[in-house]
A = this chain, B = another copy of it.
Amino acid sequence: MVKVLSLKSFNLRHTECRESVLHAFSYCKAALSQGDLEQSIDDKYDRVTIYRTLKTFLEKGIIHKILDGQGGTKYALCETSTCTSETHQHDHVHFKCKLCGDTTCINSVNIPSISLPKGYQREEINLLIEGSCPNCQ
């Protein structure tokens, strides 16, 4: 069930830090912040390097940004089928558990279509639901 991603397939140079970050995303269901990553890799890499790695991955369409509702930023893997370095395509719901703090993509739930008043052109949509997750009952 774990996605197998390789740096090579994204035309990225193979480095230890990138491997570790990619690995962390692959094995963690919840979205990760820069701080989460720094810790999960045991402070082995500089804060700045992780930021730059995230930026690179964003541009390549490997991960996408998730806002956690309180101003924090997290990241999670994209659906490999819909995202490339050209375009990101996300229409799933994000859920943040107020108890454990985990933020996750609920890929099984798509955002319903919404008709806006005349004159509004929709380009991107972002839906965050906060509440409690199954693990926290």
Give A contacts to B, CB under 8 Å.
67, 69, 71, 73, 93, 95, 98, 106, 108-109, 111-112, 114-134, 137
A117–B108 CA distance with the chains assembled, in angstroms: 8
Interface of A is mostly: strand
A66 to chain B, nearest CB (A): 11
Known interface pairs A116-B109, A116-B129. Does A71 touch B71 (Cβ–Cβ under 8 Å)?
Answer: yes
A119 and B131 form a contact (CB under 8 A): no
Q: How far is the CB of A73 from chain B (nearest CB, A)?
A: 6
**Contact across chains for A69 and B71 when beta carbons are under 8 A apart:** no
B129 touches A114 (CB 8 A): yes
Give the docked Cα–Cα distance between A123 and B132 (Å).
Answer: 8
**What are 26 pairs between A and B in contact, CB < 8 Å?**
A67-B69, A93-B114, A98-B123, A109-B114, A109-B116, A111-B127, A112-B112, A114-B127, A114-B129, A116-B129, A118-B134, A119-B134, A119-B137, A120-B131, A120-B132, A120-B134, A121-B131, A121-B132, A122-B129, A123-B131, A124-B129, A124-B131, A125-B127, A125-B130, A126-B127, A126-B129
